Amino acid sequence: MQHFAIVTFGCQMNQHDSDRIAEVLRGAGLSQVPEPEAADFVLLNTCSVREKAEQKLRSEVGRLGVLKRERPGLVIGVAGCVAQQEGERLLKKLPQIDLMIGPDNIPELPALLADCEAGGPPRVRAEFDLAAPSFLAHNLAQGPALGSPSSAGRSTSAFVTVMKGCNERCSFCIVPYTRGPERYRPAREILEEIAQLTQVGVREVTLLGQTVNSYTDPSASFAPAAGERASDWQHTAHERARADESEFPELLHAIARRAPKLARLRYTSPHPHHLTRSLIRAHRELDVLSRHVHMPVQSGSDRILKRMIRRYTVAEYLERVTALQGAVPGLTLSTDIIVGFPGETRSDFEQTLDLVARAGFVGVFAFKYSERPFTPALKLGDDVPESEKSARLAELFEVSNAIRQRYLSSLEGSELSVLVEGRGKGGQWGGRSERNEIVHFSSPHELAGRLVQVRIVRANKNSLLGELAETVDALAPAEFAASVAEPMAAKPLRRLPLSPV
């Protein structure tokens, strides 16, 4: 077996997993090809958070089944949430599949493949590593195939996992079932990985976790800062507010100290609960933190939030994000929203529209509610008609797009600091501003991985067009060239459309 291909469904977390799986397979001597047609082993890395994940998987397996008839040696594997969720059941339904592997079993993949090659029967490995959790880290020895969200061919950005699993029980969500309980990565491992990434030219790190800001160091290396545990939220009971404190702010400070060359630090996805006073303080104190935060709210109706078991009210959410914006002028927010949750009335939905306007979200990732196996919301039924869900989704997008457009237009004439990711198809440079806006501009110079100032001349629907004002990189060009990793040889992953979280 020589060549493998990975097809990724789902979120950034899954994309990150795919990148790390590719490293595990390369470490076992295989080489990656972009298309399944040229591969001996095709791994479908699945997501079951929304949509009809199994249907999507079925059609992809069907397509690969045709290939397999031509080439009986082709091995088909399924990884990710669907593998964890369905296990043996799916093998029975889709006999073309040779192996299934859960998110915590990735390191065992080469051994499973070897069994397969030796003629072993189809296998499922999907067990949570509760006793000794492991975390997939970048394998820098293998060179620069980092999971750059830009996919622009340069490794300026990287994801770093800080925790996995989820202890929340949002009634609509399958993640606690497919990813298991929360497990945290030791801080020293996280700090070491980030320091190494900056050594090879990574300038921006996004910390990943399902409730990333609930982080607590399992090796207990952080001393709680004096006075940090008191909380004066008006809308949250004192005891609850104290319980919301985590060691995430300490982790952010430690990263800033350990990796001073880092230009930007982001995190996704936080839970509003753990948006605490200490985290807000970290945002005020640490310049490296992005001035944009994605803070899923899900609904603007207290009644629906309760049914969703989100464990906050609209007032609590607003109090916390308003305090954050007060501490960091110009900080923008984006969010996730579900429309058509069981029992959502027109009036509940209007409260959501109202919240979107009040919070001024510059990005709204909205989804129609879909029933997920094993979730508590199943017993609520799915009583909002599909046509009504679609209408609400369209209306929500209309409101949120207008807010976004006004916001982007307000940036015309301003200068933004842009971390350049790479050249797009038309030859223009593309990068992201401090607040995560996509910015394009032209320049004959080699600027990948650089921080530049760009004057914005026009706001497009989802991006900004500008002119280069100045290159403001702290690194001298020679030092920079030596520190930046090589361009990726070829775009190794076939990317399916990714959702933001």
Q: How far apart are CA 43 and CA 9, in angstroms?
A: 11
Strand runs labelled E in 209-331: 264-268, 292-294
Which of residues 11 and 106 has its CB atom nearest to ligand F3S in the complex?
Answer: 11
Q: How far apart are CA 187 and CA 180, in angstroms?
A: 21
Q: What is the DSSP string of 345-373?
A: -HHHHHHHHHHHHHHT-SEEEEEE----T
Question: Running DSSP on this structure, what letter comes out for residue 298?
Answer: B
Q: How far apart are CA 368 and CA 76, in angstroms?
A: 31
Which of residues 210 and 290 has its CB atom nearest to ligand F3S in the complex?
Answer: 210
Q: Does 49 bind ligand SAH (CB under 6 A)?
A: yes
Helix (H) or strand (E) holding 285: helix 277-285
What is the closest distance, in whole angstroms, from the C-beta atom of residue 211 to ligand F3S in the complex? 5
Question: Running DSSP on this structure, what letter comes out for residue 18?
Answer: H
Measured CA to CA in angstroms, residue 411 lies from 288, 363, 416, 431, 439 at distances of 21, 15, 9, 16, 11
Which of residues 150 and 335 has its CB atom nearest to ligand SAH in the complex?
Answer: 335
Question: How many other CB atoms are found less than 10 A from the CB of residue 448?
Answer: 22
Q: Does 244 bind ligand SAH (CB under 6 A)?
A: no
Q: How far apart are CA 464 and CA 455, in angstroms?
A: 10
For helices 277-285 and 248-258, what crossing angle results, to 10°? 20
What is the closest distance, in whole angstroms, from the C-beta atom of residue 9 to ligand SAH in the complex? 13
**Stretch 295-334: interaction string toward ligand SAH, x if CB under 6 A:** -x-x------------------------------------
205 binds, among ligand F3S, ligand SAH, none (CB under 5 to 8 A by kind): none
Q: Which residues bind ligand F3S (CB under 6 A)?
A: 166, 168, 170, 173, 175-176, 210-211, 271
Which residues, in sequence order, are bridge partners of residue 268?
A: 208
Q: How far apart are CA 252 and CA 209, in angstroms?
A: 14
Q: Does 246 bind ligand SAH (CB under 6 A)?
A: no
Which of residues 166 and 187 has its CB atom nearest to ligand F3S in the complex?
Answer: 166
What is the closest distance, in whole angstroms, from the C-beta atom of residue 145 to ligand F3S in the complex? 27
Q: Does 501 bind ligand SAH (CB under 6 A)?
A: yes
Q: Does 352 bind ligand SAH (CB under 6 A)?
A: no
Secondary structure, 3-state, 476-501: CHHHHHHHCCCCCCCCCCEEEEECCC
Convert 458-486 to b/e letters by CB count within 10 Å (16 or more is b): ebeeeebbbebbeeebebeeeebeebbbe
Among 15, 156, 198, 210, indicate the residue that binds ligand SAH (CB under 6 A): 210
Which of residues 4 and 172 has its CB atom nearest to ligand SAH in the complex?
Answer: 172
Which of residues 175 and 451 has its CB atom nearest to ligand SAH in the complex?
Answer: 175
Which of residues 144 and 272 has its CB atom nearest to ligand F3S in the complex?
Answer: 272
Q: How far apart are CA 28 and CA 376, in angstroms?
A: 41
Q: Which stretch binds ligand SAH (CB under 6 A): 26-34, 364-372, 392-400, 486-494?
A: 364-372
Among 20, 307, 372, 432, indicate the residue that binds ligand SAH (CB under 6 A): 372
Measured CA to CA in angstroms, residue 45 lies from 57, 120, 133 at distances of 9, 22, 20
What is the closest distance, in whole angstroms, from the C-beta atom of residue 344 to ligand SAH in the complex? 12
Q: Are the CB atoms for 358 and 329 separated by under 8 Å?
A: no
Q: Does 50 bind ligand SAH (CB under 6 A)?
A: yes
Which of residues 201 and 272 has its CB atom nearest to ligand SAH in the complex?
Answer: 272
Q: Does 370 bind ligand SAH (CB under 6 A)?
A: yes
Measured CA to CA in angstroms, residue 201 lies from 20, 455, 482 at distances of 18, 25, 8
Which of residues 98 and 104 has its CB atom nearest to ligand SAH in the complex?
Answer: 104
Which of residues 393 and 403 has its CB atom nearest to ligand SAH in the complex?
Answer: 393
Backbone angles phi, psi at 404, to 5 degrees: -65, -45
433 binds, among ligand SAH, ligand F3S, none (CB under 5 to 8 A by kind): none
Q: Which two tokens stand for residue 358?
A: 């009040």
Q: Which of residues 104-163 bind ligand SAH (CB under 6 A)?
A: none
Backbone angles phi, psi at 18, to 5 degrees: -60, -40
176 binds, among ligand F3S, ligand SAH, none (CB under 5 to 8 A by kind): ligand F3S
Q: Does 173 bind ligand SAH (CB under 6 A)?
A: yes
Q: How many residues belong to the site for ligand SAH (CB under 6 A)?
A: 19
Q: Which stretch binds ligand SAH (CB under 6 A): 84-92, 325-333, 368-376, 428-436?
A: 368-376
Binding site for ligand SAH (CB under 6 A): 49-50, 166, 172-173, 175, 210-211, 269, 271, 296, 298, 336, 338, 367, 369-370, 372, 501
